[in-house]
Structure formats: structure tokens, C-alpha cells
Amino acid sequence: MAGRGGASAAAPLLEKTAAAAESGGGCCYVDGCPGCAVDRHKAANPGIPYGNFIYVWIVTLCTALPISSLFPFLYFMIRDLNVAKRTEDIGFYAGFVGASFMFGRCLTSTVWGIAADRVGRKPVVVFGISSVVVFNTLFGLSVNYWMAIATRFLLGALNGLLGPIKAYAIEVCRPEHEALALSLVSTAWGIGLIIGPALGGYLALPAENFPTVFSPDSIFGRFPYFLPCLCTSIFAAVVLISCIWMPETLHKHKVHENRSRNIEALEARLIDSNEKVEESGSLDSKKSLFRNWPLMSSIIVYCVFSFHDMAYTEVFSLWAESDKKYGGLSLSSEDVGQVLAVTGASLLVYQLFLYPSINKVLGPIKSSRVAAILCIPILFAYPYMTYLSEPGLSIVLNIASVIKNNLGVTIITGTFILQNNAVPQDQRGAANGLSMTGMSFFKALAPAGAGIVFSWAQKRQHAFFFPGDQMVFFLLNAVELVGLLLTFKPFLAVPDEGEAPKRVPFTPRKVYKQGHTPI
């Protein structure tokens, strides 16, 4: 029969092919290689690697918290540093402090990604967390404007965490758990962007807000913005210590993931149809990242939707807190914080329990398209919420915010999957670093652009075409529509002919060790 004959013929051919793929005559697993140790563990344990997923969660949270924790107190910090001559200039100077982190990350993300492919994921992650501990603490101790700018810039430039941790997330799990792994990155990121502002808002100015606990003469009285930064740095220090036990996933020998995948694919093809398979072919192919169109197209889609999400985040708070006569909701900062807290909790539930099933049924591209289509009517409905009164307003606003943010995370996670499946392991860190560079650039532009458009829109309350804030949400929808169109062919490409890149799951039926016969 073809099955038995194919199996017997497959073994020597696979052994020979594997030996040719390895530069020194080895095979799938190499003794002493940390990447092979992780692959061996995945082969023997088909379940979800909860322990490694915890590292993905806490490292992502560690890089997300410093980004947003300063925004609730940045206005007051710039005021106290006495750099602005007029009150109207505070926002101008605050914008540069907020953008300095993204600018620094934009300059170095690709470099950190390449470093993660050369020396490993773990060293880059450890160094990035160390930079959070040092420079986030120094930012809280800033005594002048330029110190604040410099520490935020260095924090972004030396914090190369997000790119490598996305690569790490899918390398510690089997293919069937990739969607869950990358959704953990998105969820931890979203939770961090909600917890961060809460820390900054509640813990800034402790001597004024909690005079019975913090004396004006204490370090927290002399540095009123140090406490929220210190809390984030302490959390980062705990994560740094825990990373001692974090396993490395990068292979330390001259073989990359595509080779072992092709070996497994050869086995399946020979067993099923007893085909002849040439030993040469795509086993040693390695594209330049810039000539890898599946990667570059997914990065462009990622940047467009990241620009949209950042602009939406900026607009949402401004719109919700602005006066109703300008088309806003006249909500307090506490009301907005409550909405964001509910949204953050929903992100956790959605990503852990719903998104993996959605991705399994639709795949990353179709799920992103559906999410983008559903976002458009929701954004169009926002300006009309001004006609609602309590308690209906709170209910509708919370529902809309939950749906919109979960749809946005669906799109971003889908692009994560496409990017990481478009390259072999030894290019995955550089690929994620490249995507981080582009994303950081667009996210540096989004808040400034959204603020300018929002200010302009509020001056045209009686215009004929989309008056007031309707224009803001119309432009957000225009960006969403551009992103949606970019998810279709011929622009968006995937490595395989199908909509989602297919990976052959590893099977431990034939395991080779360096210098040993098949077992």
C-alpha cells in the first residue's frame, strides 16, 4: 500500500534531506541548542504552554505601562517645570515629551530586532526591561524640561521589547496556539495602556492628594510625579528578576524553522502519495526582508491600522470630555476612566476566550476584514450619542467602546500573525523590529494629527458637510476604509496560495538527534 511503502521510503530520504539541511550533518534537534530544547518540549507537550505565556504577558505589560502612565499628569508636570511662558503653551511642550518615546523607539526598533536574531530573544528582553527600570525612574525625578525629554527618548530608544516578544510568543507554542499567543500580546498591551493612566492619575501629586500619608518634605513631595513612575519601575524590576528562568527560543546552530517545516512537509507528502521529492529547492532560500512582499504588505496594513487606533484613542478622550455645545459629551475624567476600565476588562475576556476560536474559523485576514467593516458604522454612530441622556448614554458608550476596541485588537492581532508567518525564525526578530519602526513613526504622527483635526472640527459647528465632531469621525472612518482596502489582493500577499499561511504541525514520529540514528 502507498501508506506503508511511503513510510518506509520516507525515512532514508528524510534522513538524507535533514542531513543536507544541516551544515554539519545533524538533524531536527541539536544537543545544547536552547531553540531545539523548546521545540522538543513542544513536540512532547501538545497543550498550551501557560508558563511561557506568562512571560509574554508580563514582558508586554512591562513595555506598555511606561508609555501611557505619564499622560494624566504630563500637563501639570510641564507647568511645574516652568518651561512654558504662557498657559496656552503647555500643550505645545507636552506634545514633544509625549512624542519623544515613540521617536526614540522608531530609530532603534529594527536594530533591536536584528540583535534578537543574532544574540537571542532573552538578552534583548532583559536589556529592555533594565532600561525601563532605570530611565522610567529618572523621568519621575526630572528637574527640568530637557531631562524629561532625554529620559523619555532613551526609554524609547533602549526599550526594544515589543518586537522580540512577538517573535517569542509564537516560538514557545505549537502552531494551533499561535492566535492565542499573539492575542496575549495585544491584550497585555491594551491592559497596560489602561492601567498606566490609572497609575499616573491616582498616584501623581501624592503630597497634595494624600497629605496624611506623604509629607511635602519627603521625596514624593519634592518630586510629585515620582511615585507613579516608581511603581512601574518596581514592577519592571520584579519582571526582570523573573526573566532569569525565561527559556531562550533562538536556535544556536545553522538551521532555521523553514528547513524543519519542509522536512515535515516532505514526510507527509511521501506517506500520502509516495511522490519523488528533490533534495534541493527552497530549503536554503532566504529572502531580504524588503523583498519579502508578504511581510512588507502586512507591515503597511499594520501601520495604517495602528495610526487609526492611536488617533481614535486621542480623539475619544478629547471628544468625551469636551462640552456638549462643541459636540462632546461633557464627561469627567473619572467617567472616561470608568469606560476605559470596562473596555480593558472586556479585552482580556475577548482575547483569551473568543478570539482564538474566531481566528480558527475565519483566519487572520478574513477576521480583520470583518472587524474593519463593523468598525465603520460604530464610528459613524459616535457623534449622535450627544442626543442621549443618562443612564442610556453610559450604557451605549460602554457598549460602543467595548465593541470598537475589541474589533481593533482583532485587526492588530491578525497582522501580527501574518508578519510572523511571513519569515523564518532567524529573520523574525528583525521583521518585528521593522514593523515596530514603521508603527512607532505612524503612532508619533497620530496624536498630533488627531489633535489638530479635532481643534479644527470644533470651530466648524455649523458647516454643511459633516459639521463639528462628525468630521473627526468621518476622517477616522476614511483611514479605516483605506486599511480595509489594503487587506485585499493584489496588495496584501501571504506566503502560501491560501488566505492564511499554513504551518505543518510538528509530529514526534521521527525524531533525529545530532550524531544519532532515528528514534
- Segment-wise mean pLDDT, segments of 10 residues, the chain, 519 residues: 41 38 48 84 87 92 85 78 76 74 87 89 94 94 92 91 86 85 80 77 83 87 91 95 91 58 50 42 56 90 90 78 77 72 80 85 92 94 87 90 91 87 81 84 78 76 79 92 93 62 43 38
Q: Give yes or no for a contact between 271 and 6, defined as CB atoms under 8 angstroms apart.
A: yes
Among the listed residues 433, 412, 374, the one whose alpha carbon sits nearest the alpha carbon of residue 183: 412
Q: Which amino acid is at 315?
A: V
Which distant-in-sequence residues (6+ apart) come within 8 Å of 463 by Cβ? 471
Q: Which pLDDT score, from 0 to 100, does residue 91 have?
A: 62
Rounded alpha-carbon distances, angstroms, from residue 234 to 62, 134, 137, 191, 228: 10, 10, 9, 18, 10
Q: Give yes or no for a contact between 403 and 425, defined as CB atoms under 8 angstroms apart.
A: no
Among the listed residues 478, 482, 480, 479, the one whose alpha carbon sits nearest the alpha carbon of residue 492: 482
Among the listed residues 175, 177, 190, the one whose alpha carbon sits nearest the alpha carbon of residue 407: 190
Question: What is the Cα–Cα distance from 73 to 75, expressed in whole angstroms?
Answer: 6
**Fold (topology level) of 292-496:** Growth Hormone; Chain: A; (1.20.1250)
What are the start-end ranges of the H helices in 382-391? Answer: none
Q: Give yes or no for a contact between 178 and 42, defined as CB atoms under 8 angstroms apart.
A: no
Q: Which pLDDT score, from 0 to 100, does residue 334 have?
A: 64
Question: What is the Cα–Cα distance from 432 to 416, expressed in whole angstroms?
Answer: 9
Question: What is the Cα–Cα distance from 77 to 91, expressed in whole angstroms?
Answer: 11
Q: Which pLDDT score, from 0 to 100, does residue 514 have?
A: 39
Question: What is the Cα–Cα distance from 45 to 93, expressed in whole angstroms?
Answer: 53
Q: Which pLDDT score, from 0 to 100, does residue 487 have?
A: 93
Could you give the residue range(s) of every CATH 1.20.1250.20 domain in the chain? 32-253, 292-496
| CATH architecture, domain defined by 32-253 | Up-down Bundle (1.20)
Global pTM exceeds 0.85:
no
Q: Which pLDDT score, from 0 to 100, does residue 277 have?
A: 36
Among the listed residues 315, 202, 243, 251, the one whose alpha carbon sits nearest the alpha carbon of residue 63: 243
